[in-house]
Structure 1
């Protein structure tokens, strides 16, 4: 039994402990809110809609929506099988493969863009370099390269949370491996799949470095929202740059809300 003096002492220690942790947490949350508030207060609704009425920015919005969606869907086609294999099976070189898949996450973005640019100087990629480099496919490929790594991490965590015995029961009842995967595993992973898809989309939205090197920043051609901010700053239109930034923040918030509400919160990374 804990006496009253000990209980009061522990309670006092807990108050100090949680006060320090809560202060640190609140400070960081406040910093994020101040960043967003500073952007919002730096422009007006009139300037915001004036910037969005510019043809190059309207083009970048359409290209961003299309390229992020394509790269996110492509990421899922890779993330689902890769995440499943890493979660369910131990094979030679598994740790090495796992480490390789993290490379796009830890590499500086400019290095990824430069590596893609160099890759397309070698055969057989050089055969199609004219149709890819500094073209719209380069935008999608650059976004996919980074976004897919995040989708793989999320899908692996999703499959780790699914009890493999459910799949084994389906196999013992006569289902093939593919049937068990499609009819048992995937339905249980649907929330994690939504989370992976939305996170990949959001990550593609924020890409800049690889696009700058590999796709370029040509207006009305390879310009997406992230490069629009850069281009507007270079010509001195700060209000337009802020407007595009706010639009990206809004899109990111919507995507993250979707992931939090309908996705699997435990696998958010």
Structure 2
């Protein structure tokens, strides 16, 4: 009895150190970065709220009292009033949609191949797919520009067509430049999605008479809906923020290849800082909406 009592007394005497300093340290480090992000957004909102752009937008008399609170929104509305910005918004939405769809079209088979099969050169292929992620964006655009210098002309029915002139510094170059970077992120997401799908139902389908294609379309892919949504939205958001490859490969010609990211650059180049900030906030709003969709309806817990 005495030995048991001694052990109980020793356990009661020992108390582990408090977790408070550790938790406080985690909170301080995390809050510094979060506050910096919030500060960036608050600074942008405060800048356009104190500018003159909002004064160019009229309000109904019964809403005039709310002008001070609506100044950031009015500045964005005033920016969208110009034909160049409206064209930029339209081209951005369309090009991001096409680049996201193309990214999914490439990411699904590529990721399935990497997730389910072993073959010579698999690690090399996996590394090559990460090149757009680690390379500076300007290098991607420059490499695309160099590549299309070697694309030969096509002769059809005696007519010669230049594929280079039809793509470089044209709208297709916008989609291609966005796709080159966005597809790499979509591949990462879809690879993690396929890795999390249990392979046993697929194997059972194969034993019941399905071939590999039927098992993929009928068993595997229906389980990846959330992952495809996440990959598509991430590719769309990445396309939205693309700038370097677009500037090199597609250019920044107004009413032709201008998208929102290059609009910020063009507005800065003419000294319209308030317009550039308003377009930046519009991009932030679009990105936040897309990421919220990915968080709510997309896959969770993907180990990218």
TM-score calculated relative to the size of structure 1: 0.95
Task: Give the match's secondary structure for 1:70.
Answer: helix
Query: Do residues 51 (structure 1) and 57 (structure 2) align?
Result: no
CA RMSD of aligned residues (A): 1.5
Equivalent residue number for residue 237 of structure 1: 272
2:28 to 18, 23, 27: 23
Asked whether the 8 Å contact 2:151–2:164 carries over to 1, the reply is no
* Cα separation, 2, equivalents of 1:218 and 1:87: 41
Query: Aligned partners of 2:267 and 2:180: how far apart in 1?
Result: 26
Instruction: Tell me the residue number matched to 2:66.
Output: none
Q: CA deviation at 1:17?
A: 1.3
> Number of residues paired by the alignment?
266
Residue of structure 2 equivalent to 1:206? 241
Give structure 2 stretches of 5+ with no counterpart: 1-7, 49-70, 155-161
Cα distance in 2 between the residues matched to 1:180 and 1:211: 39
> Any conservation in 2 of the 1:51–1:240 contact (CA below 8 Å)?
yes
Pick aligned residue for 1:94 from 98, 122, 138: 122
Instruction: State the alpha-carbon separation in 2 of the partners of residues 235 and 123 from structure 1.
Output: 35
Higher relative contact order (CA closer than 8 Å, sequence separation 6+)? 1
Distance 1:69 1:202, change over 3 A: same
SS at match of 1:90: coil
Q: Which has the larger radius of gyration?
A: 2
CA distance in 2, matches of 1:114, 1:162: 38
TM-score (norm 2): 0.85
Q: For the Cα contact (< 8 Å) 2:151–2:163, is it kept in 1?
A: no
> 213, 225, 229: which one pairs with 1:194?
229
Alignment of 1:33 with 2:38, yes or no, is yes
Choose which of 88, 106, 115 in structure 1 pairs with 2:143.
115
Deviations 1:74-114 (A, max 9, x none): 00000000000111111100000000000000000100000
Give the whole-Å Cα distance in 2 for the aligned partners of 1:213 and 1:36: 28
Residue 102 of structure 2 corresponds to 74
Structure 2: how far apart are the matches of 1:228 and 1:245? 9
By how many angstroms is 1:268 displaced? 7.2
Name segments (4+ residues, structure 1) moved above 6 Å. none
What are the superposed Cα offsets for residues 42-91 of structure 1, whole Å, 9 maximum, x if unpaired?
Answer: 11333221111111000000000000000000000000000001111111
On the 8 A contact 1:143/1:207 being kept in 2, the answer is: yes
Give how far 1:236 is off: 1.0
